[in-house]
Chains A and B, each alone.
Chain A
Amino acid sequence: MEAVNQRAKELLEKGEIKAVLGYAKGTGHVRRPHFARKAGQVDQLVLDAACLQNLAVYVTKHEVKKLGKVAVIALPATQRAILQLMAERQLRDGELVILAVDGEAVKELDSAAALEEHLALKAQGLDAKDKALLAELDAMSREQRWVYWQNELSRCMKCYACRNSCPMCYCGTCTMDCNRPQWVPVASHGIGNLEYHAVRTMHLAGRCVECGECGRACPVGIPVHLLTFAAEESIHEQFGQRAGAKAKLDYALSTFKTDDKESFIR
């Protein structure tokens, strides 16, 4: 942490960046995202096991871009999300300083190519708990799964914490906010909730970096991350790709390849 903070301070002092985005102590044991905009505020930044949030959600925001160049203290999930954003041309090389933190090591990166190379060294995988939950869901019959999700989604109130906490949900106008036509009902009733989560899942299939932020963000504890995880794992199985791994966009669901499987055509 000291090395990161030291570097962040230097960058701020030299005026190379306008803010450092990292984590600070929050309520109780919670760690919250924090923008240090003066060298003196860098000391408030902390980095420990309680730092969970994917900070990449901020880097496409109008309010944050307005600050000027930002350095991001990027844990692996944040790194993957930034790489995916770059592949989707939401960020340019050099637009951010990425202080990639992996355990004790810190690397300063600023391009998609560098991120790709850096991430290639690491295995990406779901944690044991989520793996077990996915396996549990997988073992269910369709009917059981339907009942499970109906039950879980009945708590949804469409606060959109899952969408708004997701780095990949950067669209200026979300399908949910579009009313000409009204694709999905606004109301948080059975069909409104189901359609929202179905659309969210499909829009993230092949783009989800599996950080689990949406699930953590949900105030009523719906494991919504399992939806996008399942879609992402399925893409990986079918097409051998993972989001947040490549600098060049190769989006499975919109790219035709002659060796694509056609087993779904019956």
Chain B
Amino acid sequence: MANTYNLSHESLNSLFGALRKDGRRIMAPVEAGGRTELAEVETPAQVASDYLQTILSAKEVAFPKVERLLSYTIAPGQVDLKDTEPKAVPTVLFGVRPCEAKAFGALDAVFNWDYRDKFFNARIEQLAVIGLSCTKADEACFCTSVGGGPADATGSDILLTPKEGGYLAEVCTEKGAAILNLAPDLFKPGNGVDKAAITAKVEQAFDQPALTTKLPGIFESEVWTDQALRCIGCGACAFVCPTCVCFDIQEEADPKKGERLRCWDSCGFHLFTLHASGHNPREVQGARWRQRVYHKFSYYPERYDMLGCVGCGKCTRACPVDMNLKEHLIEAAGVKA
């Protein structure tokens, strides 16, 4: 159960100072060339003041687009392997939207369901999330259809909700309490605020349980091929997605030394499943688009008892051909709320 406090606008300066004094890097949305993107900041003034969402998700703080897994040197008849220790800087993600905060859980499900991924875990261990409730939403948003909400605290160590003069601060986890303890004076006793009244209204667009129930029965439906006719098979949706976790492992080497890198990948690429023999289990774009939908809304629930989608709408906003996930789910399964 979260402890609730009031945090004034002015106190953020001191909070940032306390976090930095504690040796933490602060990552927050900033305005850059008309875009909102995540960057390291020192003061609250650098944080974007009025933004819907960043283009890319916050997943890169724990799962960067390229990272080294190991390195080695080669000599005749000899290979010396070197383990890689992930660079895990104590980091506070400030001002991340509730949907993205929640998404770390979906990444964790894959990275640790069986074998444990030390690269992801080392960074998550050093990460604290200060979420910020949404006061606006757009047509791509659908968090409330997938069990989230504009003021959902899941995944946030502290969730801030903007209100008159500052924020309502919900301290949700031990990591959140540790932050509070860095500057306890800033967190004033807070009263109950009707969060729903001050945060964005995101109407529930579809019935997700009905969707998940229906999907296995419409796997062979033409609808996936039809919808995917305009999909150009790029990786924009997967790369901006806060839950898309699929990756490639690539070797980069010269005759004497080399390294193995993990890179973001996408099931939308035809290369993703292509065998060296030329056989491709997902030969056409319709099959690849379907995989994206099913992975998030059918396979994830079956496998991990959660959804692989937080309804942030980033994929829809990033898509060059406007593949609107929410709309297509409703169209395919007829599950309008």
Direct contact between A and B in the complex (CB less than 8 angstroms)?
yes
> Do A33 and B248 touch (CB < 8 A)?
no
- B174 at interface (Cβ–Cβ under 8 A)? no
| Cβ-defined partner of A30 (8 Å) among B229, B266, B284, B322 | B322
Q: Enumerate chain B residues within 8 angstroms of A53, measured Cβ to Cβ.
A: 320-321
> Do B65 and A57 touch (CB < 8 A)?
no
Q: Enumerate chain A residues within 8 angstroms of B229, measured Cβ to Cβ.
A: 35, 58, 63-64, 67
> Do B35 and A221 touch (CB < 8 A)?
yes
Q: Enumerate chain A residues within 8 angstroms of B111, measured Cβ to Cβ.
A: none
> Do B35 and A220 touch (CB < 8 A)?
yes
Bound complex: CA A57 to CA B229 (Å): 12
Bound complex: CA A160 to CA B139 (Å): 25
Among residues of B, the one whose C-beta sits closest to the C-beta of A31 is: B322
Q: Enumerate chain A residues within 8 angstroms of B233, measured Cβ to Cβ.
A: 164
Interface string of B158-179 (1 = CB under 8 A from A): 0000000000000000000000
Bound complex: CA A217 to CA B318 (Å): 8
| Cβ-defined partner of A217 (8 Å) among B37, B65, B234 | B234
Bound complex: CA A187 to CA B261 (Å): 7
Bound complex: CA A63 to CA B229 (Å): 7
- The count of residues in chain B whose C-beta lies closer than 8 Å to any C-beta of chain A is 43
Q: Enumerate chain B residues within 8 angstroms of A161, measured Cβ to Cβ.
A: 232, 234-236, 320
Q: Enumerate chain A residues within 8 angstroms of B235, measured Cβ to Cβ.
A: 157-161
> Do A157 and B230 touch (CB < 8 A)?
no
Q: Enumerate chain A residues within 8 angstroms of B236, measured Cβ to Cβ.
A: 159, 161, 217, 219
> Do B55 and A219 touch (CB < 8 A)?
yes
Bound complex: CA A159 to CA B248 (Å): 13
> Do A159 and B140 touch (CB < 8 A)?
no
Interface of A is mostly: loop
Bound complex: CA A94 to CA B268 (Å): 32
> Do A157 and B321 touch (CB < 8 A)?
no
- The count of residues in chain A whose C-beta lies closer than 8 Å to any C-beta of chain B is 37
> Do B320 and A27 touch (CB < 8 A)?
no
Interface string of B280-324 (1 = CB under 8 A from A): 000011100000000000000000000000000000101011101
Q: Enumerate chain A residues within 8 angstroms of B230, measured Cβ to Cβ.
A: 32-35, 58
Q: Enumerate chain A residues within 8 angstroms of B234, measured Cβ to Cβ.
A: 159-161, 163-165, 217
> Do B285 and A32 touch (CB < 8 A)?
no
Bound complex: CA A163 to CA B232 (Å): 10
Q: Enumerate chain A residues within 8 angstroms of B138, measured Cβ to Cβ.
A: 28
> Do B65 and A157 touch (CB < 8 A)?
yes
> Do B321 and A32 touch (CB < 8 A)?
yes
Known contacts A57-B232, A165-B234; decide if A32 and B322 are in contact (CB<8 Å): yes
> Do A188 and B65 touch (CB < 8 A)?
yes
- A189 at interface (Cβ–Cβ under 8 A)? yes
Q: Enumerate chain A residues within 8 angstroms of B250, measured Cβ to Cβ.
A: 185-187
Known contacts A163-B234, A164-B232; decide if A186 and B248 are in contact (CB<8 Å): yes
Interface string of A15-44 (1 = CB under 8 A from B): 000000000001110101111000000000
Bound complex: CA A27 to CA B239 (Å): 20
Q: Enumerate chain B residues within 8 angstroms of A219, measured Cβ to Cβ.
A: 55, 236, 239-240, 318, 320
Which residue numbers of B lie inside 8 Å of A, CB to CB?
Answer: 33-35, 37, 55-56, 65-66, 138-140, 225-226, 228-230, 232-236, 238-240, 248, 250, 252, 261, 263-264, 266, 269, 271, 284-286, 316, 318, 320-322, 324, 327
Give the 8 A-B CB pairs with smallest separation, nearest first. Answer: A217-B320, A32-B322, A219-B318, A159-B235, A26-B322, A164-B234, A161-B234, A164-B232
Q: Can you list 7 A-B pairs with a CB-CB distance of less than 8 A? A: A63-B228, A157-B235, A165-B234, A188-B65, A189-B66, A217-B236, A220-B37
Which residue numbers of A lie inside 8 Å of B, CB to CB?
Answer: 26-28, 30, 32-35, 53, 57-58, 62-64, 67, 155, 157-161, 163-165, 177, 185-189, 192, 213, 216-217, 219-221
10 further interface pairs, Cβ-Cβ under 8 Å (given A27-B139, A159-B234): A157-B264, A164-B233, A165-B232, A186-B250, A188-B66, A189-B66, A192-B66, A219-B236, A220-B37, A221-B33
